[in-house]
Chains A and B, each alone.
Chain A
Amino acid sequence: DGGITQSPKYLFRKEGQNVTLSCEQNLNHDAMYWYRQDPGQGLRLIYYSQIVNDFQKGDIAEGYSVSREKKESFPLTVTSAQKNPTAFYLCASSPGPTPGGASIEAFFGQGTRLTVV
């Protein structure tokens, strides 16, 4: 498995702590995304970035923050303001908008399972 790497695989957080999930890609993709997956549910978009130094909120951004200082990296911080952070977090990347609306296959990392203890 190469391409997009998330770490750590498992993460435990105490109440009131901020934690940062790492996401790195070597696919030269412009766009990167963070999704949250809860048991038995689909993937919900937290934040996305189409280019370095730019990012936008997704559907459930409250309690989360991101940065995009490098093309390869898109870390996600789960802050203490996120009231229910226990979930499986997936990072993805895609080539970004292309002329003619070509397919935008998203490549996913292996995920980070975050648990509040």
Chain B
Amino acid sequence: GENVEQHPSTLSVQEGDSAVIKCTYSDSASNYFPWYKQELGKRPQLIIDIRSNVGEKKDQRIAVTLNKTAKHFSLHITETQPEDSAVYFCAASLAGIKAAGNKLTFGGGTRVLVKP
């Protein structure tokens, strides 16, 4: 089955700096890679996702890049703000194939702390 590794496990940045979180996956068939943000005591929520036919996607201060050959993808947050402090999870899935169940395999999470 799919295995997703996420690094670093904790990340402390100064407000205004950039933050980068990296994930690697094992199943070359995976075609959908979402990122979730989980604030303390709250449910995980999707912040951005990318499909395997796209190399990069951007939404305001966040962007995701995907390298299919190397089987890794990254989340980039620019101009970090205190409200970006949370735990971020990457995930991988074989989407659109019923037999695969649309299961999301998650990385271990990165706790991001933005210091004012």
- Report A's interface with B, CB cutoff 8 A: 31, 33, 35, 40-45, 48, 50, 56, 58-59, 90, 94, 96-106, 108-111
Contacts and interface: CB of A to CB of B under 8 A. Distances in A.
A59 B102 CA distance: 14
7 contacts: A31-B101, A45-B105, A48-B101, A104-B102, A104-B104, A110-B43, A111-B43
Contact of B95 (A56, A101, A108): A101
Interface string B94-110: 01111001111111110
Interface in B14-36: 31-32, 34
Contacts of B34: 103, 105-106
Contacts of B51: 101, 103
A59 B1 contact: yes
User: What bracket does the count of chain B residues touching chain A fall in?
Assistant: 20 to 34
A97 B43 contact: no
- Chain A contact surface mostly: loop
B96 A99 contact: yes
B74 interface: no
Given A43-B44, A90-B43, A56 B109 contact: no
Nearest to A45: B103
A97 B46 contact: no
Contacts, number: 80
A42 B109 contact: yes
Given A96-B102, A101-B51, 15 more contacts: A31-B101, A35-B106, A41-B109, A42-B108, A43-B106, A45-B104, A56-B101, A96-B98, A97-B96, A103-B32, A103-B34, A103-B49, A105-B46, A106-B34, A106-B46
Contacts of A48: 101, 103
A84 B6 CA distance: 25
A43 B96 contact: no
B108 A41 contact: yes
A98 B96 contact: yes
A41 B44 CA distance: 13
Interface string B36-60: 0000001111100101000000000
